[in-house]
Amino acid sequence: MKKMAIIGGGAMAEALISGMIVNQFIKSEDIWVTNRANQQRLQYLETDYSVNTSYDYSELFLGADIVILAVKPKDTAAVMERIRKYVTEEMLIVSVLAGISLKTIELLAGKSLAIARAMPNTSAAVGKSATAIAVNQRVTEKQLKTIQRLFETVGLATFVEEKQLDAVTGLSGSGPAYIYYLIEAMENSAREIGLEQQIAKELIVQTLIGAAEMVKSSAKSAKQLRLDVTSPGGTTEAGVQVLEDNEVQRAFISCIKAAAARSKTMGESLRLELKVH
């Protein structure tokens, strides 16, 4: 890869920049970043990551073979209007814009382009994102490998059909927040049963990491692993029974379905707003 242009210099752009440089996907001097107006933020990215920054789009796009769109979905129209004359059919466009379809990007660009649409999550900031990616038919085999390697610099990367991205958003896109919610509950309970906050936090975090590792490395299902540690009349059974009585599993299922449904309606309203179909 020769050069990368990143439009948007916020949290997701920084996570990607950091992951790509640390994992030697691209050299910092080959990365060019711009944002809307926050010069201080660009200065910070230059200083901390040694990337180039510019508000001159001719300079930004000159010789770029990959363009990352990392602005908020509401800024899509303004950005596409601004970049359409600089984007060429040889460039690979990688979007992390939630809810903006491959077709919408192509229509707003006004030309046929190779586009990847990714749904990472906030754990990209620590290299542990679960990222699902959909691509359009113009993406070549070579570009597919590039896209996979790119998102593997911030965690796990897997390809899905575009229509599955709303489900992905509900499951893993918003997923970290569900786990934070669980941690919150565990921390609150620790206080109530008399455990010191710092000790409780360490125990909770390690418990989550350990359980996740068990699910990842074991051939057994999560359900089987749970049953294996639930002895009749024991402590785990007493606890899990309360979760069952309160239909917590059903609540989690409804939570994920609601987030996936919201992703779908948000995508539809963005399409209406952008006047593309």
Ligand X SMILES: NC(=O)c1ccc[n+]([C@@H]2O[C@H](COP(=O)([O-])OP(=O)(O)OC[C@H]3O[C@@H](n4cnc5c(N)ncnc54)[C@H](OP(=O)(O)O)[C@@H]3O)[C@@H](O)[C@H]2O)c1
For the CB of residue 159, give the shortest distance to ligand X in the complex, in Å: 17
Residue 34 lies near ligand X (rule: CB under 6 A): yes
For the CB of residue 37, give the shortest distance to ligand X in the complex, in Å: 4
For the CB of residue 133, give the shortest distance to ligand X in the complex, in Å: 12
Which listed residue (23, 28, 54, 122) binds ligand X by CB under 6 A? 122
Interaxial angle between packed helices 248-274 and 102-109, expressed in degrees from 0 to 180 and rounded to the nearest 10: 20
Identify which of residues 128 and 226 has a Cβ nearer to ligand X in the complex: 128
Identify which of residues 121 and 136 has a Cβ nearer to ligand X in the complex: 121
Which listed residue (1, 10, 148, 262) binds ligand X by CB under 6 A? 10
For 205-225, b/e burial (b = at least 16 CB within 10 A) is eeeeeeeeeeeeeeeeeeeee
Which listed residue (38, 158, 231, 246) binds ligand X by CB under 6 A? 38
The interface region with ligand X, picked from 74-82, 151-159, 190-198, 248-256 by CB under 6 A, is: 74-82
Contact 28, 50 (CB under 8 A): yes
C-beta neighbour count of 151 within 10 angstroms: 27
Sheet harboring 129-135: ordered strands across?
Answer: 52-53, 31-34, 4-7, 66-69, 92-95, 114-119, 129-135, 155-159
Which listed residue (97, 102, 133, 150) binds ligand X by CB under 6 A? 97
Residue 71 lies near ligand X (rule: CB under 6 A): yes
Q: What span, in angstroms and rounded, lies between the C-alpha atoms of 89 and 95?
A: 16
The interface region with ligand X, picked from 7-15, 135-143, 219-227, 262-270 by CB under 6 A, is: 7-15
C-beta neighbour count of 191 within 10 angstroms: 11
Which listed residue (1, 23, 41, 65) binds ligand X by CB under 6 A? 41
Paired residues of 115 in beta bridges: 93
Structure tokens at 261: 């449904």
Binding-site ranges for ligand X (CB under 6 A): 7-13, 34-38, 41, 70-73, 75, 78-79, 96-98, 120-122, 173
